[in-house]
A = this chain, B = another copy of it.
Amino acid sequence: MRQLIIASTSTVHGSGYLDYILEELSNLFKNTNTILFVPYARPSGISHDDYTKIANNAFSKIGKTAVGLHTFENPKEAIENAEGIFTGGGNTFVLVDQLYKNDLIVPLKAAINTGTPYLGTSAGSNICGLTIKTTNDMPIVYPPSFNALGAVPFNINPHYLDPDKNSKHMGETRETRIKEFHHYNTQPVIGLREGSWLSVQNDDITIRGALTARIFEHNKPPYEVNPGTNLNHLN
C-alpha cells in the first residue's frame, strides 16, 4: 500500500524542524527504524552531512534514525532496500538534477509504488507531483528534465502564499504564476500553505493540517478546500 506525507514545509514559524508533524511521522514510519534521508536539495547550500544531522536530530525525538543517501556507495540499492524515505527541502532544481544524474527517479518511483513510506517537505514534496513546473525555487542549475515522480496526478505548490494586498511590489503573486502555468499545462495544482500536507494512503489523497488548501484547476476559478477533503477526483 502506498503511504506518503507530502508536506508544504519542514518547519512552521516558531517551532523546530519537523516538530509540527512528528506525531504524524510516528504513524507513517511506525514499522520503520531507519529512514533513508535524501539531502540533495541542500537548503542554503548546507552540506549533505550537516543536513542529515538536522534530519536525524528531528527523527531521534520519535526514536528513529536518519541515514543520508549520500553515504551509500550504491544509492539505487539504498533506495531499493530502504524501510522508509524522507526527501528534505531546499532547491528543487538541484534536487531533481541530482536524482537524474544518479539515475534515481525510477527506483524512487518504484519504492513509493511498492509501499515504502515516503515523507517529502517543500522541494521533497514538489517532486511528488507530475512535474516541478510549479516550484517557487530559483533555477540555479539546469536539470535534464522538469518531469518528477508523479506520485500524485497533479502538481504541488508548497509554501503557498496569499497575495499581500498592501504590497507595493510589482512582481507576480503566487496565484498569477499558477494561472500562467495553466496557459501551458492542464494538470491541477494544489497550493499547500505552510502547516498543511497531503496524506496519501494507496490512491486516497487527503488534505491535512489546520488550514484550507487552494486548488487550481485548468479553466476554472481557483477554490479553497477544507482539511479532511479527499482529492481523489483531481487529475
Contact = CB atoms under 8 A, between A and B. Distances in A.
Secondary structure class of chain A's binding surface, majority of residues: loop
Given A94-B184, A180-B44, A180-B45, A170 B194 contact: yes
A168 B13 contact: yes
A161 interface: yes
Interface string A162-188: 000000111110001111111111000
- For the complex formed by this chain, how many copies does it contain in all? 2
A135 interface: yes
A14 B167 CA distance: 11
Interface in A1-22: 9, 11-14
Contacts of A145: 142
A169 B159 contact: yes
Contact of A179 (B44, B132, B171): B44
A139 B9 CA distance: 20
A150 to B, nearest CB: 16
A201 B40 CA distance: 42
Given A133-B139, A170-B9, A194-B169, A91 B146 contact: no
A138 to B, nearest CB: 4
Contacts of A135: 138-139
A34 interface: no
Given A44-B172, A45-B182, A161-B169, 7 more contacts: A13-B170, A44-B179, A91-B180, A94-B180, A133-B138, A137-B177, A140-B183
Interface of A: 9, 11-14, 42-45, 90-91, 93-94, 132-142, 145-146, 159, 161, 168-172, 176-185, 194
